[in-house]
Amino acid sequence: MFGDLVIVDDVPGEFTERVIEAFLARPDDTFALSLSGGDTARRCYERLADEAGTQIDWWKVDVYWGDERCVPADHPDSNYRLGREALLDRIGVANAHYPMRCEEGADPYQLRVGELGKFDLVHLGLGADGHTASLFTGSEAMNADPGRLVVFNEDPSGRNRWPRMTLTFAGIARARLVIVTVMGEDKRDALAAVARGEDVPGARIRGTRVVWLADEAAAGDLSET
């Protein structure tokens, strides 16, 4: 797999430590953090909000989203709502946050990410089907124009609801650090497929540095390599 596989008992705890480490090592004054959706992400953000304390100056953090469901911002399936509830409302402040707004189209976010240049940290999850962000097997975004950083996309299998907006692999690759958090036995096959180099979306994740944080349940036999 591209990147380092780190197997830990406490994925949210390790995630928190590595976000703090990346923040303290940031090369610029502000820290550009891109959030994921999903239950694993929610657990990671709740822990980050509770434990980062004063180690992260949230006034220096610009919050982005790696993908979004095209639903209202207060919809239970909204990744913006997830980030608000699990992180932003708990820490109270951030320098800026940039929700993906489907109604505006993908170009404004494309321009924002283009102007940003580099994310300091992009957080991703891995679906049991091997998807990441809203990049699904067989979906149009798997072959996005190389110049696109942000696109609309949908899951052709229908397993993952809603039209989506998502960073492309080129958009993800703008990350100085990508952390992929993977928890639970239901992810074991997907993580093994990534490790074998099969062409599942997760296997295409690139960045200056990529770290896979997995628990034993998701790692399965990989923990013996």
Residue 39 is a binding residue for ligand 6PG (CB under 6 A): yes
Rule CB under 6 A: is residue 40 a binding residue for ligand 6PG? yes
Q: Does 171 contact ligand 6PG by CB under 6 A? A: no
Out of 16, 34, 132, 168, the residue judged to bind ligand 6PG by CB under 6 A: 132
Nearer to ligand 6PG (CB atom), residue 120 or residue 155: 155
Rule CB under 6 A: is residue 168 a binding residue for ligand 6PG?
no
Q: Which of residues 134-153 bind ligand 6PG (CB under 6 A)?
A: 134
At position 117, the amino acid (one-letter code) is G
Chain positions 77 to 96 lying near ligand 6PG, rule: CB under 6 A, are: 79
Considering Cα of 76, then 184, then 192, then 47, what sign does the dihedral take? positive
Pairing verdict, β 210-214 and 175-182: parallel
Judged by beta carbon, residue 61 or residue 180, the one nearer ligand 6PG is 180
Closest by CA position to 32, among listed 151, 172, 213: 172
Residue 120's nearest CA partner among 29, 41, 7, 53 is 29
Beta-strand runs (E) in the chain: 4-7, 31-35, 61-65, 67-69, 96-98, 119-125, 150-153, 164-167, 175-182, 210-214
Residues in 55-74 that interact with ligand 6PG by CB under 6 A: 67
Instruction: Tell me the CA distances in angstroms from 209 to 3, 4, 199, one per residue in order.
Output: 7, 8, 20
Q: Which is nearer to ligand 6PG, 28 or 186 (CB)?
A: 186
Minimal distance, residue 185 CB to ligand 6PG, in Å: 12
Distance between CA atoms of 112 and 102, rounded to whole angstroms?
14
User: Hey, which residues between 180 and 219 contact ligand 6PG (CB under 6 A)?
Assistant: none
Residue 139 in contact with residue 168, Cβ under 8 Å? no
For residue 187, the one-letter residue type is K
Closer residue to ligand 6PG (CB): 25 or 156: 156
Residues in contact with ligand 6PG, counted by CB under 6 A, come to a total of 15
By the rule CB under 6 A, 34 interacts with ligand 6PG:
no
What residues make contact with ligand 6PG under the rule CB under 6 A? 36-41, 67, 79, 125-127, 131-134
